[in-house]
Amino acid sequence: VADGRTDDGFGIQFGVNHLGHFLLSCLLLDHLKEGSGGRVVTLSSMAYRWGSIDFASLITNKHLGTGRYSWQFFPAYCNSKLCNVLFTHELAKRLQGTNVTCYSVHPGVVRTELSRNVSLWQKVFIEPVARLLFLDPVAGAQTTLHCALQEGLEPLSGRYFSCCAVQDVCPKAKDDAMARKLWEVSERLSGLS
Phi/psi of residue 119, nearest 5 degrees: -70, 165
Phi/psi of residue 10, nearest 5 degrees: -85, 150
State the Cα–Cα distance between residues 63 and 14, nearest whole angstrom: 6
Label residue 148 by pLDDT band (50, 70, 90).
very high
Q: What is the pLDDT of residue 75?
A: 86
Closest CA to 22 of 92, 83, 97: 83
In 3-state terms, what secondary structure has residue 133?
helix
Convert the pLDDT of each residue in 70-93 to its tens digit.
Answer: 566 788 889 999 999 999 999 999
In 3-state terms, what secondary structure has residue 132?
helix
> Quick check: pTM over 0.95?
no
In 3-state terms, what secondary structure has residue 165?
strand
Specify the amino acid at residue 101. T
DSSP per position, 88-114: HHHHHHHHTTSS-EEEEEE--SB-SST
Whether 48 is a known active-site residue: answer no
Convert the pLDDT of each residue in 49-59 to its tens digit.
Answer: 999 999 998 88
Convert the pLDDT of each residue in 16-53 to its tens digit.
Answer: 999 999 999 999 999 999 988 899 999 998 889 999 99
Label residue 119 by pLDDT band (50, 70, 90).
low
State the Cα–Cα distance between residues 45 and 162, nearest whole angstrom: 9
Q: How do 160-162 and 39-43 pair as beta strands? A: unpaired
Q: What is the pLDDT of residue 124?
A: 62
Convert the pLDDT of each residue in 173-190 to its tens digit.
Answer: 999 999 999 999 999 999
48, 77, 103, 160: the active-site residue: 77
Q: What is the pLDDT of residue 26?
A: 97
For the cut 80, the answer to whether the pLDDT of residue 11 exceeds it is yes
